[in-house]
Amino acid sequence: MSECAQTSHPAINVSIFGNRAKSVTIDRIAAHSYIRAIMSMLPTKPFSDDRPAGLAQIDQRSREIFRRLVDTYLDTGEPVGSRTISRILPTNLSPASVRNVMSDLEDAGLIYSPHTSAGRVPTG
């Protein structure tokens, strides 16, 4: 991780996808606040099936895995693997079960894998 010019906090390189892919470096604390704000907007229960897919469609287990992935990524700045998440979850889930949830989160556009053998990172 690099350091932001204005602060002594470690910086995180965040990739933002959309019409144009771009990568920016932001302060770790600012990134953490941003992700927490997004997580707080999630409803406690998923919407019915007629609602658009994405954040609103993930269940409680998926939310917990997503939250742990984001927290771990913000702490380390590196892609997070399913085995790492399975070890820090309060429930006893296998890495294979975590990979299945991570695949669903990737399909929803919330995380991505920088390359085939890497863990996952949150999208911007």
Domain containing 67 — which CATH number?
Answer: 1.10.10.10
**Mean pLDDT, rounded, of the chain:** 74
Residue span of the structural domain in which 108 resides: 11-122
CA angle (16, 88, 78) in 5-degree steps: 30
Instruction: Tell me if 3 is assigned to some domain.
Output: no
pLDDT tier for residue 3 given thresholds of 50, 70 and 90: very low
pLDDT per position as a tens digit, 106-121 = 888 888 888 777 788 8
User: Is residue 96 a contact partner of residue 83, using CB atoms and an 8 Å limit?
Assistant: no
**How much is the pLDDT for 7?**
46
pLDDT per position as a tens digit, 21-71 = 555 666 777 777 777 777 776 655 554 444 445 566 678 899 999 999 999
Instruction: Tell me if 24 is assigned to some domain.
Output: yes
Instruction: Tell me if 50 is assigned to some domain.
Output: yes
d(CA 66, CA 52): 19
**How much is the pLDDT for 28?**
72
d(CA 90, CA 96): 16
CB neighbour list of residue 90: distance below 8 Å, 6 or more residues apart: 64
Q: How many domains does the chain have?
A: 1
Instruction: Tell me if 5 is assigned to some domain.
Output: no
pLDDT per position as a tens digit, 67-89 = 999 999 999 888 999 999 999 99
pLDDT per position as a tens digit, 94-106 = 999 999 999 899 8
Instruction: Tell me if 91 is assigned to some domain.
Output: yes
Q: Could you tell me the CA-to-CA distances from 93 to 72, 81, 100 in Å, in that order?
A: 17, 13, 11
**How much is the pLDDT for 30?**
74
Instruction: Tell me if 30 is assigned to some domain.
Output: yes
d(CA 16, CA 104): 19
